[in-house]
Amino acid sequence: MYDVQHNSRGLVSHGVSACAGCGMELIMRNVLEVLGEDTIILIPPGCSALFSGFGNETALKIPGFQGNLENTAACAAGVRAALNAKGNKHTTVLAFAGDGGTVDIGIQSLSGVLERRDKVLYICYDNEAYMNTGIQASSSTPYFAGTTTTPSGKKTGRKDLMQIAIAHDIPYAATASINNLNDLKKKVQKAKDTDGPSLLHIHTPCPTGWRYEPAKTIEIARAAVQTGCWILYEYEAGKVTINYRQKELKPIEEYIGFQGRFGNLSKEQKKEIQDYVTKQYNKYIIKLEAMN
């Protein structure tokens, strides 16, 4: 039998056709390293389908199924129900979906899983657009980001997936970043051990869609946290913990300055985005603190 514990290549084979510097590939490798081989994965269309593969080829050494963009969570719930019927409580059922497949097209099936308390680990890797079909904006695309459907920058902010999940009062939900893999892995373990639905919302830099040098993926992820564009926190048994606080936010330029998707902004627009992010960040921290 394949011994993952003693094989550093883990449960994902090499030669996956993700772009160089893909944040999502790093997430997949690290998540499966924590979950281990007693896992069944559900993947919708999107860049993560590069792992489920095509025909009889797959990059994953665990069982899985590729469903539709709108029903990843429902498919996961079905697998869970089948396992439960067989008395299997130990296998982790993992839904691994992009932002488009989560906050837009699959939001209703996700809500159903959260409401029914199905024991499913749902991960949304958020690369902030529909990348696999040509970088169209999703409702997770941030304010002012350029995509093929928002060429002069998106005119609205992003949907708040975490607060939508928390509104269902699920046992565990957390944000994470590939800038801090230890924190990410701890959260994966907690989610795995949760008795009921759990959700991880992971910020996922994408060199192709965000238009930056592939070698800068981790730097960009770090800058998102340090500039207040991504907040690391968790909701556990009704209590909120903010996992990281930047004493003083870094200027937004240190995040958006590297990325072509913000490359057309004027000086005034950059000032506007700075004011927007600072205000949103401060408001959000107050809101999180008030939740306890």
What are the residues binding ligand TPP (CB under 6 A)? 45-48, 69-70, 98-101, 105, 127, 130-133, 138
Task: Provide the sign of the torsion angle of the four alpha carbons 60, 66, 72, 77, taken in this order.
Answer: negative
Task: Identify whether the C-beta of residue 24 lies closer than 8 Å to the C-beta of residue 206.
Answer: yes
Name the closest residue to Mg ion (Cβ).
98
**Nearest one of 203, 231, 198, 232 to 217, comparing CA atoms:** 203
Residue 197 CA: distances (Å) to CA of 39, 87, 95, 249: 15, 18, 11, 33
Q: Which of 11, 18, 162, 232 binds ligand SF4 (CB under 6 A)?
A: 18
Counting contacts by CB under 6 A, is residue 207 touching ligand SF4? yes
Residue 246, contacted partner among Mg ion, ligand SF4, ligand TPP, none, CB below 5-8 A by kind = none
Residue 225: CB minimum distance to ligand SF4, A: 19
What residues from 123 to 162 belong to the interface with Mg ion (CB under 5 A)?
127, 131
Q: Which of 209, 220, 225, 229 binds ligand SF4 (CB under 6 A)?
A: 209
Q: Cβ contacts of residue 1 below 8 Å, gap of 6+? A: none
Residue 22, contacted partner among Mg ion, ligand SF4, ligand TPP, none, CB below 5-8 A by kind = ligand SF4
The alpha-helical segments, DSSP class H, found in 42-153 are: 49-52, 72-85, 107-116
Rounded Cα–Cα distance for residues 17 and 234 (Å): 32
Nearer to ligand SF4, 38 or 213 (CB): 213
Task: Identify whether the C-beta of residue 255 lies closer than 8 Å to the C-beta of residue 227.
Answer: yes
**Nearest one of 56, 53, 63 to 32, comparing CA atoms:** 63
Counting contacts by CB under 6 A, is residue 208 touching ligand SF4? yes
Residue 133, contacted partner among Mg ion, ligand TPP, ligand SF4, none, CB below 5-8 A by kind = ligand TPP
Residue 156: CB minimum distance to Mg ion, A: 17
- The contact set with Mg ion (CB under 5 A) reads 98-100, 127, 131
User: Which residues of this chain interact with ligand SF4, rule CB under 6 A?
Assistant: 18-19, 22, 24, 47, 127, 131, 206-209
